[in-house]
Amino acid sequence: MAGVLVLFSIALITIYFRESSGGGLHQVQSVGATVLRPFEVAADRVSRPFRDAYGYFAGLVHAKSENGRLRRDLDKWRQEATQNAYAASEKTDLLKKLHFVNSRSFPGGFGFVGADIISQPPTAFAQQVVIAAGSASGIRKFDPVVTGEGLVGTVVRVTHKQSLVALLIDDTTSVVALDVKTRAQGIVKAGSSFDHVGKDQRVEAGDKLVTAGWKLGGLSSIYPPGIPIGQVTAVGQNDVDLYKHVKLQPFADFKTLSSVLVLIPKNR
Amino acid sequence: MIADIAKGAAVLFVAAIVQVTLLSQIDVFYGAPDLVLVTLVAVALLRGTIFGAAAGFGAGLVVDTATLQTLGVSSLLLTIAGYWIGRYGETTGRDRSHAPFVSVAVVTLLYSLGALILHYMLGDPASASRVLLDAFPFELIFNLILTLPVYALCRRLFRPPPTGLEEVRLLG
């Protein structure tokens, strides 16, 4: 009996792993997730007061002196300041190069879908969350996900009414980013390091990073330019490595995420 | 038997839903309590190999479905865990007061190792140091804290099967 179940599990893994995202097992899982959704939503609603209470007391324990209004104000002004700085630096740069044709506006070309986070995988392997919106809301794979604080991640799987979002701090997430102050460009990996920044480029602690939103011929980044990512916390380099060692702190607080916005291109 | 199956399914279903919606959000150095694993250990200790393996398989399916992860991964690990703990319960562990705690501690370690190996084989980015050094100690502590209430609840729900001692008890 147990042997049969083990073999069946291995067969499930093998088939699931090999089939496309539209395959039979994926469809079954999608239906199953839809069936489980009411239970998850109910559990989420029942537990929310307890979580809020826990969050309140945890905040006291950690001596968080700032109250909610100040934090929201801070997030709002920080985002605005980052976007202004980015817009100013981008404008200067584009003026110099006379490439207004390729000017990037954010978030002009995007609409958004708001969604609650309904479950999180119970493992330390993947920093991914499930949100309560899917293809029925217009969401597609690789749509960027944000909050008022900044970039949260990317949609990596979509079902009819739910989507799986790989967070910025997931090991699989890489984002081409730009230092708004110095225009240094690199790749933010797993939300913790700003890699491939040459030694000749200037990056300082405290600098703010935004999505670069590159475009190359017919290809373009899945992230629109100018979304705040995080702040540089440490910069170092040595004689051996080709690139600087840059650490950063994401703006988004992934431990307290309860809802997100999925950016949807208007021209899709 | 049918009542046991219904109770087992209900308990593990609730555990899985609470796990994916609530407990997974507790994050202390990547460690979080695993209510499904603790509940499975309790059920398997009280009901044996077949029940443990089947319960583990079902609970794994619910977890993988609710979290949209690779179908079968949790089922495989929990099936083996349920069978192994059921075997321990059937042979030596069931009547020992320390059995649930020992079982949870060992299974938490083996489950972490098994999950690490499985994710590595599937090509997922798996950090051994994060799982075994950062997350494991806190996950173990959380799971041991959960063991006492969960085992007590399961013991009330699943009365231990008759041992036959009544028939062989010697008088005088």
pLDDT at res. A92: 60
pLDDT at res. A99: 35
Above 60 in pLDDT, residue A167? yes
Three-class DSSP category at B44 = helix
CA–CA separation, A65 and A60 (whole Å): 8
CA distance B65 to chain A (A): 5
pLDDT at res. A51: 76
Is residue B106 within 8 Å of residue B44, measured between CB atoms?
no
Averaged pLDDT for residues B93-108: 86
Q: What is the chain B residue with the closest CA to A41?
A: B21
Please give the share of chain A, as a percent, with pLDDT higher than 90. Answer: 30
CA distance B39 to chain A (A): 15
Residue for token pair 């088939």: A15
Residue contact B17–A171, C-beta within 8 A: no
Q: pLDDT averaged over chain A?
A: 83
Closest CA to A268 of A103, A101, A110: A110
All domains in chain A, ordered by first residue: 23-64 (no CATH), 66-268 (2.40.10.340)
**Which comes out higher in pLDDT, residue A156 or B134?**
A156
pLDDT at res. A196: 92
Contacts for A143 with CB less than 8 Å, ≥ 6 apart: A154, A155, A222, A262, A263, A264, A265
pLDDT at res. A43: 86
CA distance A190 to chain B (A): 11
Q: How confident is the model at residue A250 (pLDDT cuts 50, 70, 90)?
A: very high
**Contacts made by residues A116-119, CB under 8 angstroms, sequence distance 24+:** A116/A44, A116/A258, A116/A259, A117/A257, A117/A258, A117/A259, A117/A260, A118/A37, A118/A40, A118/A41, A118/A44, A118/A162, A118/B21, A119/A40, A119/B20, A119/B21, A119/B24, A119/B66, A119/B67
Residue contact A12–B36, C-beta within 8 A: no
All domains in chain B, ordered by first residue: 2-159 (1.10.1760.20)
Please give the share of chain B, as a percent, with pLDDT higher than 70. Answer: 89
**Which comes out higher in pLDDT, residue A155 or A24?**
A155
**Which of B5, B18, B25 to probe by mutation at the A interface, max A CB count within 10 Å?**
B25
Q: pLDDT averaged over chain B?
A: 85
- Helices A2-18 and B73-88 pack at an angle, to 10 degrees, of 170
Q: How confident is the model at residue B165 (pLDDT cuts 50, 70, 90)?
A: low
For the ranges A60-74, A109-123, A187-201, the lowest mean pLDDT is seen at A60-74
CA–CA separation, B61 and B40 (whole Å): 13
Averaged pLDDT for residues A239-254: 88
Whether the upstream peptide bond of residue B125 has omega within 30° of 0, thus cis, is: no
Above 70 in pLDDT, residue B112? yes
- Nearest by CB: B72 against A9, A39, A123: A9
Averaged pLDDT for residues A126-146: 91
Q: What is the chain B residue with the closest CA to A2?
A: B53
3-state secondary structure A107-140: CCCEEEEEEEEEECCCCCCCCEEEECCCHHHCCC
A-B Cβ pairs (cutoff 8 Å, strict): 135
**Which of A16, A21, A45, A123 to probe by mutation at the B interface, max B CB count within 10 Å?**
A123
Would an 8 Å CB–CB cutoff place B127 in contact with chain A? yes
Above 70 in pLDDT, residue A26? yes
Residue contact B68–A33, C-beta within 8 A: yes
Q: For the whole model, what pTM was predicted? A: 0.65
Q: How confident is the model at residue A90 (pLDDT cuts 50, 70, 90)?
A: low
Q: Which residues of B touch A159 (CB under 8 A)?
A: 68
Residue contact B25–A120, C-beta within 8 A: yes
**Which of A36, A120, A125 to probe by mutation at the B interface, max B CB count within 10 Å?**
A125
Q: What is the chain A residue with the closest CA to B56?
A: A5
**Which comes out higher in pLDDT, residue A125 or A183?**
A183
Please give the share of chain A, as a percent, with pLDDT higher than 70. Answer: 88
Averaged pLDDT for residues B20-26: 80
Per-residue pLDDT reduced to its tens digit, A94-106 = 454 343 333 344 4
Closest CA to B14 of B45, B38, B32: B38
- Nearest by CB: A43 against B21, B34, B68: B21
Q: How confident is the model at residue B12 (pLDDT cuts 50, 70, 90)?
A: very high
CA distance B79 to chain A (A): 7
Residue contact A162–B69, C-beta within 8 A: no
Residue contact A124–B131, C-beta within 8 A: yes
Above 60 in pLDDT, residue B23? yes
pLDDT at res. A101: 30
Averaged pLDDT for residues A18-22: 83
Tell me how far CA of residue B82 lies from CA of A3, A156, B109, in angstroms.
12, 32, 14
Above 60 in pLDDT, residue B81? yes
Q: Which amino acid is at A240?
A: V
Q: Across chain B, which distance is largest between two alpha carbons, in Å?
A: 65
Q: How confident is the model at residue B77 (pLDDT cuts 50, 70, 90)?
A: very high
Per-residue pLDDT reduced to its tens digit, B47-62 = 889 999 999 999 999 9
Would an 8 Å CB–CB cutoff place B55 in contact with chain A? no
Whole-complex ipTM: 0.77
Above 50 in pLDDT, residue B145? yes
pLDDT at res. B89: 87
**Which of B36, B71, B117 to probe by mutation at the A interface, max A CB count within 10 Å?**
B71
